[in-house]
Amino acid sequence: MTPSRPTDNSTPKRTKATVHDVAKRAGVSIATVSRALNTPDAVRPELREEVLKAAKALGYTTNSVGKALRRRRSQVIGTLLPRLADPLFSLVASGVQDALVEHDYVGFLEISGFDNRNLYTHAHKLIQKGAEGLIVFGRIDDDDLLDLVTKQNIPTLTVYSYLAASEIPMIGIDNYAATRQLTELLLDLGHTRIAMISGPLAGNDRQQSRTQAFQDCLHERGLEPLIEHVDVEHERANGAAALQRLISRRSDLTALLCNRDVIAFSAIAECRRMGLSVPDDLSLTGFDDVEYASLLDPPLTSLSVPAIEMGRHAATTIIRHLESGDAMHSACYDTEVILRRSTARPRPARRG
């Protein structure tokens, strides 16, 4: 088999075999070909064999575009993620992919960025390109997008966040409760001067819930919550800066909640740079329990979320809905605080 050169006309632009070609070769009608392939029982065995043989001989493989047009089903579902190069989001995407291949679907992946002003644009594009269903990371707060999917009746699911009242089903976790757990962990250890580094709140229900939980927790105990924000597009650089701002606002800080593991990664590195010992000088927690959280020095106390599982769940739910009309239900997954060595009791006060 000699590989064909760029301009190889020996194979005369060999256009792919269609159902007609197979039909002709097998001496049957195209309808029979289609039936032999899709509903084999509906065609006499001998004829079926004939068709299958012809199909194989011609290397026929059904053209999904034609099929999709006629069936009005593409077996494509689209996923919308804020970012791909991220240890959390890519995990969700993995879960989605897992489920998709299992059901012989294929996935459009689209990166929306954190600015959900263009969420609508991306979603629209995916639908227009033929996605039958949509999986969106985080709560959808864009009315236009909500309109789009309900009007056009596009099965849509969000993943990662769970909020009780939602027009569209959410497969996720309770960010509020989870953050309360983390905060209370620190409080129970005896910390009173606690801060949080959060991502931007605008259009981000996760960060909203988490800062809210943090504030509520501290207020309940009569403590003053301290929050700094990082620009999520440059979490690393800004995590360090945020930590510095916090320290300068309150130098006697003993504990810090980072609203994403990746923020904690840079915070822990910055602590090292500043000569702050974790957890002796500063207890640190992350969120998501991303793969490398346990490899840090010290290993990071974090909150584990079943990211892959949620992605998988979302995808199968949507597929089941598409295939069997099953209703899509929200689901709230349990989370778990993973206690590692980045948290400890506060160092006993030196003086008063």
Partner DNA sequence: TGGCGACTTGAAAACGTTTACTTCTTCGAG
Partner DNA sequence: CTCGAAGAAGTAAACGTTTTCAAGTCGCCA
Which of these segments, 73-81, 200-208, 219-227, 344-352, binds a copy of itself (CB under 8 A)?
A: 73-81
Q: Establish if 89 lies at the interface with DNA (CB under 7 A).
A: no
The site string for DNA over 32-51 (x = CB under 7 A, - otherwise) reads xxxx-xx---xxx--x----
DSSP H or E segment with residue 31: helix 30-38
Which of these segments, 35-43, 62-70, 188-196, 241-249, binds a copy of itself (CB under 8 A)?
A: 62-70
d(CA 113, CA 56): 44
d(CA 144, CA 86): 27
d(CA 347, CA 280): 6
Residue type, 44: R
d(CA 39, CA 275): 70
Q: Which among a copy of itself, DNA, none contacts residue 348 (Cβ within 5 to 8 A by kind)?
A: none
Instruction: Calculate the CA 142 to chain-centre distance.
Output: 18
Q: Which among a copy of itself, DNA, none contacts residue 351 (Cβ within 5 to 8 A by kind)?
A: none
| DSSP label at residue 5 | P
Q: Establish if 350 lies at the interface with DNA (CB under 7 A).
A: no
Q: Establish if 147 lies at the interface with a copy of itself (CB under 8 A).
A: yes
Contacting a copy of itself (CB under 8 A), which of 24, 30, 47, 62? 62
Which of these segments, 12-20, 47-55, 203-211, 280-288, binds a copy of itself (CB under 8 A)?
A: 12-20
Cβ-based neighbours of 258, under 8 Å, separated by 6 or more: 196, 197, 239, 264, 267, 284, 285, 286, 287
Contacting a copy of itself (CB under 8 A), which of 32, 34, 97, 209? 97
CB of 4 to a copy of itself, least distance (A): 5
Q: Which among a copy of itself, DNA, none contacts residue 37 (Cβ within 5 to 8 A by kind)?
A: DNA
CB burial of 241-273 (b: ≥16 within 10 Å; e: otherwise) equals: bbbebbbeeeeebbbbbbbbbbbbbbbbbbbee
CB of 47 to DNA, least distance (A): 4
CB of 84 to a copy of itself, least distance (A): 5
Residue type, 331: A
| DSSP label at residue 193 | S
For 181, phi then psi, to 5°, come to: -55, -50
Cβ-based neighbours of 83, under 8 Å, separated by 6 or more: 89, 111, 113, 114
**Which three-class secondary structure state does DSSP give residue 17?**
coil
Contacting a copy of itself (CB under 8 A), which of 24, 125, 193, 345? 125
Nearest to 225 by CA among 212, 207, 234, 240: 212
Q: Establish if 101 lies at the interface with a copy of itself (CB under 8 A).
A: yes
257 bridge partner residues:
196, 285
Q: Establish if 71 lies at the interface with DNA (CB under 7 A).
A: yes
Contacting DNA (CB under 7 A), which of 15, 153, 251, 324? 15
Cβ-based neighbours of 54, under 8 Å, separated by 6 or more: 22, 25, 26, 60
Q: Which among a copy of itself, DNA, none contacts residue 1 (Cβ within 5 to 8 A by kind)?
A: a copy of itself
Which of these segments, 189-197, 212-220, 268-276, 329-337, binds a copy of itself (CB under 8 A)?
A: 268-276
Residues near a copy of itself, by CB under 8 A: 1, 3-4, 6, 11, 13-14, 16, 61-66, 68-69, 74-76, 83-87, 90-91, 93-94, 97-98, 101, 104, 106-111, 122, 124-126, 128-130, 143, 146-147, 150-153, 167, 236, 265-266, 268-269, 272, 291-292, 294-297, 308, 327
Residues near DNA, by CB under 7 A: 15-16, 18-20, 27-35, 37-38, 42-44, 47, 60, 62-63, 65-67, 69-72
